[in-house]
Amino acid sequence: MTTNIAAAHRVILMSTPAFGVSTLNALIARGYNVVGLVTQPDKPAGRGLPVVPPPMKTAALALGVPVFQPSSLFSPEAIESLRATDPDLILVAAYGKFIPEEICQLAPLGAINLHPSLLPRWRGACPVVAAVLAGDSHTGLTVHFVVNEMDQGDILGQMAVPIGPQDTAEQLMARLGDMGGEFFLDTVEAWVAGRAVPQVQDGSQATWCDRMTKQQGEIDWQQPAVHISRQVRALTPWPGAFTWWQGRQLGIVEAWPDESWNGAEEPGRVFRLAGELAVATGAGALRLGQVQLSGKRIMSAEQFERGARGFSSALLGQRME
């Protein structure tokens, strides 16, 4: 057990996606007594598919960590089951639901969260998606206290991470998760040892991001190519950026903007640009990498074009009535 953590020998980790795996591994590696993982209930993987556990449940069971999956954290049963673990500290890494104050008060050192943005920028449910969609040059990790208002607790530490020009939200979230565990525990231990001073967030600089909807994936070809390319990267893998071709939904899985193009094709028109498939937009062109027709596998745009008559000059975005 590392000595920097003082009296916090028993830890509850609250996490659902793979983002929290590095935190769990770091806790075990440093000798913490992880008395429970709180994660969301198992859910169907898709329509008609079997129920599957969240990634964190699988990781915890493999390490012998007890798993709690309450349907509601507000129920007396959930609160009492967690109280029985007698935690000193609660750590949160993308649990995915609001955590009531009564849960936070179960641990003498309270509850501390690892958030994948540079708070107060991008408070809310999808900070990585929002950062890519907005064209931010950097995102990062913030360690802060859990309070009654989402993502508004005092900050204990931050780490900035650059966003690459081809990073998808999925890739970026995975990278932040991999970096997060050690940084999270280093910061928490520094605070417990009195080496980290909590900093109040500047609410005037706050931005907010809600959960994405399927409709937000639909491409408006009147938008600039650089915006659409960010939409493609931000919404991978869900809900996915898409358009319409011959009345069917066509996902744009990979694409790059060409802001230098200034041709006469109307927005949404597919054409050849230096021998490659591209789509005219409101400003510049979008070079197509990979696409996915509804119900089919992902393939390169060139492969798709070979089996899709007329695609190389099609006008995308038109729904059939």
Tell me, letter by letter, the H, E, C secondary structure of 202-224. CHHHCCEECCCCHHHHECCCCCE
- What mean pLDDT do residues 99-111 have? 95
Of 68, 124, 66, residue with least CA distance to 94:
124
Residue matched to tokens 């995102």: 139
pTM, rounded to two decimals? 0.94
Helix ranges (DSSP H) in the chain:
21-29, 55-62, 76-83, 101-104, 127-134, 169-192, 225-234, 301-307
Q: Assess contact for 287 and 255: CB atoms under 8 A.
A: yes
Q: What integer is the mean pLDDT of 246-252?
A: 96
> In the prediction, which pLDDT does 6 show?
41
Q: What pLDDT sits at residue 45?
A: 76
Closest CA to 37 of 87, 74, 106: 87
Across 90-117, average pLDDT: 96
Q: What would the pLDDT profile of 18-36 be if each residue is shown by its tens digit? A: 999 999 999 999 999 999 9
pLDDT category at 49 given cuts 50, 70, 90 is confident
Taking the C-alpha atoms of residue 152 and residue 164, their distance in angstroms, rounded to an integer, is 27
pLDDT at 8 over 70: no
